Structure 1
Amino acid sequence: MRKTSYAATFVAVLIILSINVASVYLPDWLIAKYDILNAQVTVRYGLTERCERAIISFPGPSNGGRLEYTDYECRPFPLSVKDKCDDENRLFCAVWTSAHYFTELGIGFAAMALVSLLIGVSTHSRRRRVWRAVAGLVILHAVFQLVTFILITELYRKNRFPAFEHAKPGVGYALNVASWILGFVVGTGVIVTGVAADHGYKWAAGNRAYRRIR
């Protein structure tokens, strides 16, 4: 494969990795909003964190005026006691935690793909072979992100956690979708380009196209 192909792959995988890291640490995979008396409550659920913002409105001293008090608090999620992980939400907590582990594994495979690219482009002989490892690692990354998506979607769709009844997907959820779609696209592109280079196509292999010994 051409060096330019590997450079483009490196940039693409770096973007995917950045998207993954952002999705893991953003506490807004699912967002639930409630109106309770004089309060507007927004609860954001991330893979490891739950954040709650409450805006409480009071009648002000002047006619028609109102006073507002805002409270914002985050905590780890899920917690064994507060989220009843030892009771009726045992299955939910296990699946939600597993989804976090799967996405972390996906990040690990994406990071390994970047390392493989840096090592693999050092010599011509390595460039001929390393695309297989890169493609495999990128696709493994996409598979683990897809598993995370399936698990979270199933919990959300079936309201496995009581608060999810009013929840909607947020930015973290969307970034996860983008990461595994891009992962499969990039992995497939590397395979197509690598196979074409092995067969001697100049557009894939460059000026030093590989020639099979007959």
Structure 2
Amino acid sequence: MDFRLVPRGEDRNYTGFLTKTIVYTGSLILFLASFGLTISSIAVPRWVSYDSPTFHYSYGLHRRCSSVEGACWGFPKREDCHGEDRYFCSMWRSVGFLMSFAVVLEGMSLVAFLIVLSGGKRLRESGWKVLSLFILLSVVVQAASMGIVAYLFDNEKRFFPGWVLSDSWVFCTVSWCVSLFCAAALILAAYTLPSEGGYELIPDNEG
């Protein structure tokens, strides 16, 4: 008895293609929102803030703002990092570096999304590995940034009662949570959704 290779059922091929494309597209949309939140957390100078009826004061990753002066200025500067403040400045600069690195990783993730979505079956079947790795790395970096700021908030004397973890800190937290969900969805889809099909052996009864 001879065997020959024939394409698997077209319905299965179409179902696998459709479901994986939907997962990738949906994850991309959510990831774009996450990327926007990451950019906002860097651009908006409100990681830690103090608001009272008379004045407002806030720290961003690269700027410090005060309603008393009515302006924002670069932070931390060299003159801000002497004596006991040196540790705080080093940690704060580390957060700025980590968040910039997170943007790079998320940019690489977006490129990977586009490559996978514009590619063929092979990329849709295996591209999730590199893509989810980039996303998870960005999650780790952002979670570390969030944790460092939370640690400084709890331990630095400059943040006396009345200071709060503010908008940018929330943006960062929501961003890595959404990214983590995207990575989990891609990994889960890879292991649970049907394959896009291929070829299978059937007996050839002729002759």
TM-score range normalised by the length of the shorter chain? 0.7 to 0.9
Contact map agreement 1:23 1:173 (CA 8 A) in 2: yes
Please state if 1:181 is matched with 2:195.
no
Residues 43 and 112 of structure 1, relative CA distance in 2, 3 Å threshold: same
SS at structure 1 position matched to 2:133 = helix
Q: Identity percentage over the alignment?
A: 20
Superposition pairs of residues 15-30 of structure 1, within 5 angstroms: 15-30=33-48
Cα distance between partner residues in 2 of 1:128 and 1:29:
40
Please state if 1:41 is matched with 2:41.
no
TM-superposition CA deviations, 1:37-75 (whole Å, max 9, x none): xxx221111111101002xxxxxxxxxxxxxxxx51110
TM-superposition CA deviations, 1:94-138 (whole Å, max 9, x none): 000001111111111111111011112221111111111111111
Q: Normalising by the residue count of structure 2, what TM-score does the alignment of the two structures yield? A: 0.81
1:59 corresponds to which residue? none
Moved more, 140-149 or 116-125: 116-125
Residues 212 and 140 of structure 1, relative CA distance in 2, 3 Å threshold: farther
- What displacement does 1:12 show? 1.3
Higher relative contact order (CA 8 A, sep 6+): 2
Superposition pairs of residues 46-65 of structure 1, within 5 angstroms: 46-54=60-68
- What displacement does 1:209 show? 3.8
Q: Which amino acid aligns with 1:97?
A: R
Where do 5+ consecutive residues of structure 2 fail to align? 1-18, 202-207
Cα distance between partner residues in 2 of 1:188 and 1:24:
25
1:157 corresponds to which residue? 154
SS at structure 1 position matched to 2:153 = helix
1:73 corresponds to which residue? 71
1:12 corresponds to which residue? 30
Contact map agreement 2:150 2:165 (CA 8 A) in 1: no
Contact map agreement 2:47 2:60 (CA 8 A) in 1: yes
Contact map agreement 2:135 2:179 (CA 8 A) in 1: yes
Superposition pairs of residues 197-208 of structure 1, within 5 angstroms: 197=193, 201=194, 205=195, 208=196
Q: Higher helix fraction: Structure 1 or Structure 2?
A: 2
Q: Normalising by the residue count of structure 1, what TM-score does the alignment of the two structures yield? A: 0.79
Q: CA RMSD in A?
A: 1.9
What is the number of equivalent residue pairs in this alignment?
A: 181
Contact map agreement 2:20 2:189 (CA 8 A) in 1: no
